[in-house]
Amino acid sequence: MIGVGLLGSGFIGETYAEALDDVRDARLVAHYSRSPERAAAFAAKPGRDTRPHDTMAALCADPAVDLVIVALPNEVHLEAVRLVAAAGKGVICTKPLARTGPEAAEILQVVVSAGVWHGYAESAVFSPNLAKAHEIVAAGGIGDVLWLRAREGHSGPHAPHFWDAETAGGGALLDMGCHTIESARHFFGRDNPIVEVFAWGATMAHQDKTTGEDTSIALLKFAGGQVASIESSWVEQGGMQLRHEIVGSAGRLVTDTASTPVWGFITKPVGYLVEKADADTGWVYPVPEETRAYGFSQEMRHFVERFAAGEPPLETFHDGWVVNTVVDACYRSMKSGRWEPVA
């Protein structure tokens, strides 16, 4: 049984805690929150039996904790990973790994130097829809993959820290483009690097909330000649939109992670329906078993299994660093108006 400690008790922290309920060989044993009130609320959830810790260092030093999940705002990732590595524990960090490529490189160096196991919590590639599409592609079902279009949109982040672009490191592209960049790498192959990007971004609807872009489009050119186009938006209301189109030399695939078999018209609020629902009456589209539909349960199960076996996972901090360097190049392109190389 792997003892898991959780740093953070916000939306993504709660999501990871729920996902761990699906993992047979792991148990959430400790948690930390920067807010005592949220820490108490987290511990009070039915069926939850975790020890609260007043500091990140105390949680990392807890002998019952083998593996630590960092579910904190972007600006805290480096500090948290340093503490986990110093305690010699395995570490999983939520996306994006860092605010910039250089900061991600520093985080990667911390775990490499300490020799600790590390996993990058990029959930998109673990979602059932993308996993099935990747299985078909790997079997040659659509021939050689030539082009990919990915789009993720909603009305804005849950966490208030992401509205502060200077502190968070960026806007919608960093928040959501990290998902679609990594899914493109997943389909085109991680040995086929992104070498050049062209990007546009603007603040179209949330000028009162952020100085970062709330809308962006980026083209990613791979060494093998393939191209991916990714769209990231904080201006789309009505729920999460997450769609991939994969075109090959002998076919094509389409995934829509936001699609649901349950929908209807309701006149009275019934509680939580789905992430970024924006409305609780009228036409609604609740997603059953959301943590599984979006890949969080499968992601945590994969990480725990690989950690227990002493094997590297599908997504490591190296992948997080690559994604951050691609995002950096996209931000340079937004400013220059030109294709920019990926360092």
CB 256 within 8 A of CB 245: no
**Would you say the pTM of this structure is higher than 0.85?**
yes
- What is the pLDDT averaged over residues 279-307? 93
Average pLDDT over residues 137-162: 92
Q: What is the pLDDT of residue 288?
A: 86
> How is residue 264 annotated by DSSP?
E
Q: Domains in the chain, start-ordered, CATH in brackets?
A: 2-124+296-315 (3.40.50.720), 126-289+324-341 (3.30.360.10)
The whole-number pLDDT of residue 342 equals 97
Give the residue from 233, 284, 287 showing the smallest Cα distance to 257.
Answer: 287
Model confidence over 234-254: pLDDT tens digits?
Answer: 999 888 889 999 999 999 999
Q: Find all residues with CB under 8 Å of 143, minimum gap 6, and list them.
A: 248, 249, 250, 251
Angle between helices 101-114 and 317-336 (to 10 degrees): 170
pLDDT above 70 coverage of the chain, percent: 100
Instruction: Calculate helix-pair angle for 128-138, 178-188, nearest 10 degrees.
Output: 20
Q: Is residue 333 a contact partner of residue 198, using CB atoms and an 8 Å limit?
A: yes
**SS3 label, residue 148:** strand
Q: Name the CA dihedral angle for 41, 67, 184, 169, rounded to a multiple of 10 degrees.
A: 60
Please give the single-letter amino acid code of residue 52: P
